[in-house]
Structure 1
Amino acid sequence: MATAKIALPPKLIPVFAGEADVRGAYGGRGSGKTRSFAKMSAVRAYMWAAAGRSGQVLCGRQFMKTLADSSLEEIKQSIKEEPWLAGFFDIGETYIRTQGLPGDVYYTFMGLDRNIDSVKSQARILLAWVDEAEPVTDEAWTKLIPTLREEDSELWVTWNPERKTSATHKRFRLGGDPRYKLIELNFRDNPRFPAILERQRQRDMQQRPDQYGHIWEGDFRSVVEGAYFAQALTKAKEDGRIGRVSADPLMTIRAFADIGGTGARADAFVIWIAQFIGKEIRVLDHYEAVGQPGAAHLDWLRSRGYEPAKCQVWLPHDGKHGEKVYDASYESFFRQAGYKVSVVSNQGKGAAKQRIEATRRLFPSIWFNADTTEGGRDALGWYHEKKDEERGIGLGPEHDWASHSADAFGLMCVAYEEPKAKTNDLGFKARKVV
């Protein structure tokens, strides 16, 4: 029996060996994962058709308006790279299917955001390959996976990670299922990594260090274009200001909040815990919850040891107003729980920009406890300017998942007052005489 050799990055060989329900690869640019999975999908299509099987290879992406947004061209090119394989496929402008074999296997292409309900009616899916899978929702996965009804049907997943909270990350990287074969694949794992990409990689390393890890190393995305605090966070890391930071037991603990509600679609409620020690701001902890009552936030404070005797709560100006579900303000709620409460006055028009500028100014003096502030730092790195793409102008901060943590952090920076120099009895600044 004749055999064929397929060129793959060596790290992918175990992924395609043996049985599996899910095979996949995640990582940065230039790893060769998309081309490799495209090629192997054609190999599998050939094998099934040669064995007399008929069915389809479904290629999905979360967003696909036209075939130009699909994996069609990638699969065409991967088939053409293998002369022995190309003769077994009929490749048209908008289709790919096997030919000259006992069975008939064809490709279909689908955008999951618009067509996920119609996937239930798809006939005999032998393989579903979802490329650029990072934004695929949990709902889409829940509807797609049960359509793989053949005993040897498989799901293949390839993506560049962005967020730890994504449905794709949670389902496949945290699943721990023994029938899931997934690996991380980056540029250094690709023996055919092209010289032009190496030049681009070097440029990104020099010119975009805050984005380099996500683009090339498969790291989670910590910043986006237009992010307000990306460079400041990178500098804090370089300076060693993100590490182990302990509370000073003699100093006041301050809890800075951005308030949310208790409705199903409420904004997030965020708390940053910090201490002002000299000219340093030591950020000790971060908390975020959605749709929870005040009692849940109070329970978190107490569970972390931030008791009323040593912790003061700071609220934005709307902390004085009644909560949308319960007719009570957060100010009165925390006071009744025994906390001292300060409410920062309304900064009026341009308040968001004032918080951003205050944060930028103070960032060189800010230290973070790494283990307990990671989620908040992710939000700070993501917080960015909303753009009018047609006119190329900024429209102010984007109101998304990151804005609540950024607003609470900005409140802390607005509330900060630099310590004044001590004076003697005559009112003169004291100074040390050497």
Structure 2
Amino acid sequence: MNNELYTPRKHQAEIESNLARFSVLVCHRRFGKTALSINRLIRAAQETKRPDWRGAYIAPLYKQAKTVVWDELKRYCGLGRDDCTVKFHETELRADFENGARIRLFGAENPDSLRGIYLDGVIFDEVAQMPYRVWSEVIRPALSDRKGWGLFIGTPQGKNALYRLWENAKRDPDWFAAMYRASETNIIAADELEAAGREMAPEEYEQEFECSFTAAIRGAYFGNLMGVADKENRVTSVPHDPTLPVHTSWDLGMSDSTSIWFVQSRPGGNYAVIDYYEASGEGLDHYARILDAKGYKYGSHIAPHDIRVRELGTGKSRLEIARGLGIRFDIAPNIPIQDGINAIRSILPACWFDSVKCAPGIESLRHYRRAFNERMNDFTARPVHDWTSHAVDAFRYFAVGFRQPGNAARPLRTINDYDPFGRQHERA
């Protein structure tokens, strides 16, 4: 049925003939990757011999899956045609095929909500906007016993999950990796590309049409500052100093993720960001056990102001529950989010990050960005709420809430060649 509704272009047909069990496609805008991937799922569902075949299409946000993909899935399945036998469930964004196969759409903003499912095939759309752990921790195990396949598609937005998958795929002979730049495919007319090049910032054009992983992330709040941290070798191995207290800063969620940064204040007004932890769907007792397991000597624990809100079920606030678990929180001031973003900007030049233990948090700082209003063709004043938000919010509470013992004002580093580990640091 879908063959009559979908005719692959030259490059799409080339991809379909080369797909491996796991494939990574880095494609320019308007390449047609969504149509390609939807029809890959539909074809697999129609041709399977399994009566319980399950496929998934994962977008960065559930709302995106519903807005961008759901209508396309129904169209390519033949909704409205007399020969369409697929049943669609609007509340679950699920398509049930006559042979028992199912395709369902998901959002990646709450990775743990995907746990416990099994899959025979999965599409990751716009992987650059997702945390890598959605794949490594959640979906990869869901494919194992069924030996399912995965297709990753997207346009670069810096060196994130898509970049990592792309680099891994190029090295692994069992994976298929392909990149399609607008200057090479001839899908978009040359005069249109020239016009886009005049109207877009150079880094935006390179990212969107030429698939550049090194172009700046559009609207990123801290992209340049994190780039400077890379150049100054401040994203590196940062050992824990057992003689100094470890301060924590939290963003507390229930169904959403809870994020915790572990920071030591070092001589000279520097901050050694030594660790990071994130989970979702867990109570405060879980995080108390994590703190104990780390074995650090703790100083301040900083929480957002809404920790004082009492829960309907217990009548207690999380502040009271935490105190019962031995965690005494300081409350970060409730200030406008833009002021908190500026506070992060003020301390980032003083921060050294452990590149391994803090990797998910670092990735969030790099990709936290302003929302773009397509109608107004401009960025809004507020950030996008996505997988980066929890880690950045927790870091923001540290930036506005941490004070040295004695309530002294937070010092800021004024020189760039100081090494908090007692070594002279050469400028990059």
Post-superposition shift, 1:298? 0.9
User: Greater shift after overlay, 289-298 or 352-361?
Assistant: 289-298
Identity between Structure 1 and Structure 2 (%): 18
CA contact (8 A) 1:59 1:109 kept: no
Distance in 1 between the 2:42 and 2:300 partners?
63
Distance in 1 between the 2:123 and 2:91 partners?
19
CA contact (8 A) 1:60 1:110 kept: no
The unaligned stretches of length 5 or more in structure 2 are 1-8, 48-54, 59-64, 152-174, 404-409, 415-428
Distance in 1 between the 2:42 and 2:311 partners?
57
Match of 1:366 in 2: 351
Deviations 1:126-165 (A, max 9, x none): x9999999899999999997xxxxxxxx968574424235
Deviations 1:74-108 (A, max 9, x none): x9xxxxxxxxxxxxxxxx9x9999xxxxxxxx789
| Cα distance change on mapping 1:389 and 1:360 into 2, 3 Å | same
Deviations 1:156-201 (A, max 9, x none): 8574424235589943686245453764433169997449699899
1:371 aligned counterpart, secondary structure: coil
| Cα distance change on mapping 1:387 and 1:139 into 2, 3 Å | same
Post-superposition shift, 1:273? 0.5
**Letter of the structure 2 residue corresponding to residue 362 of structure 1:** I
Distance in 1 between the 2:37 and 2:391 partners?
38
| Cα distance change on mapping 1:327 and 1:13 into 2, 3 Å | same
* Alignment map for 1:207-356 (pairs within 5 Å): 207-208=203-204, 212=207, 216=211, 225-261=218-254, 265=255, 267-277=256-266, 278-308=268-298, 311-320=299-308, 322=310, 325-331=313-319, 341=328, 343-344=330-331, 346-347=333-334, 350-356=335-341
Distance in 1 between the 2:287 and 2:233 partners?
31
Off by >6 Å, runs of 4+ in structure 1: 6-11, 31-44, 58-61, 64-68, 70-73, 94-97, 106-112, 127-145, 188-192, 195-205
**Letter of the structure 2 residue corresponding to residue 28 of structure 1:** V
1:226 aligned counterpart, secondary structure: coil
Post-superposition shift, 1:401? 4.5
Post-superposition shift, 1:386? 4.8
Distance in 1 between the 2:337 and 2:209 partners?
28
| Cα distance change on mapping 1:317 and 1:132 into 2, 3 Å | closer
**TM-score of the superposed pair, with normalisation by structure 2:** 0.58
| Cα distance change on mapping 1:190 and 1:136 into 2, 3 Å | farther
Distance in 2 between the 1:205 and 1:404 partners?
29
Distance in 2 between the 1:396 and 1:10 partners?
41
Question: Of 1, 10, 24, which residue of structure 2 is paired with 1:26?
Answer: 24
The unaligned stretches of length 5 or more in structure 1 are 1-5, 17-22, 49-57, 76-91, 98-105, 146-153, 422-434
Match of 1:413 in 2: 399
Distance in 2 between the 1:142 and 1:333 partners?
29
* Alignment map for 1:67-106 (pairs within 5 Å): 69=72
| Cα distance change on mapping 1:137 and 1:332 into 2, 3 Å | closer
Distance in 2 between the 1:351 and 1:69 partners?
39
Question: Of 365, 368, 374, which residue of structure 2 is paired with 1:383?
Answer: 368
Confirm or deny that 1:186 pairs with 2:178: yes
**Letter of the structure 1 residue corresponding to residue 23 of structure 2:** A
Post-superposition shift, 1:240? 2.6
1:285 aligned counterpart, secondary structure: strand
Deviations 1:3-55 (A, max 9, x none): xxx97787864647xxxxxx6633211588678779999999xxx9xxxxxxx
* Alignment map for 1:60-71 (pairs within 5 Å): 62-63=65-66, 69=72
**Letter of the structure 2 residue corresponding to residue 271 of structure 1:** I
Distance in 1 between the 2:276 and 2:121 partners?
37
CA contact (8 A) 1:116 1:140 kept: no
**Letter of the structure 1 residue corresponding to residue 149 of structure 2:** Y
**Letter of the structure 2 residue corresponding to residue 270 of structure 1:** S
Post-superposition shift, 1:255? 0.9
CA contact (8 A) 2:242 2:297 kept: no
CA contact (8 A) 1:383 1:397 kept: yes
Post-superposition shift, 1:379? 3.2
